[in-house]
Amino acid sequence: MFFLIEYDRPRGTIVELREFDPASRQLAEDARLQLELDLNRRGVDHEIVILDAPNKEALLRTHSRYFESVAEMVHGSPQVQALIAETNKLPLEHEG
């Protein structure tokens, strides 16, 4: 599957997410180009990407920055927080 994402980086939000089946790469590319031209004409500075993933769940795992809130990115996802908590439980190397 191909996923066309319009992302408002300053706000940390997805403006648009469109899915295209695997045989529709050219359609996705054409949609990306039209979106970029439209945003450029209107002076809107958004990030536009096409990502390839087997499904939306895989996309969420591999490109989580598009789906996490700004607060989650700053403080880390629950998985990152759990890893930090586990690391903090380990003894420091210089401790005897």
Q: What confidence tens digit (pLDDT) does each residue in 76-96 have?
A: 566 666 666 666 665 655 544
Burial of 3 (0-12, 13-18, 19+ CB in 10 A): buried
pLDDT digits (tens, 9 = 90+) for 15-68: 999 999 999 999 999 999 999 999 999 999 999 999 999 998 888 888 888 887
CA distance 7 to 44: 11
Could you tell me the pTM of the whole model? 0.70
- The 3-state DSSP class for residue 36 equals helix
What is the domain partition of the chain in residue ranges? Answer: 2-89
CA distance 31 to 20: 10
* Structure confidence at residue 22 (pLDDT): 94
Asked whether the beta carbons of 17 and 5 are under 8 A apart, the reply is yes
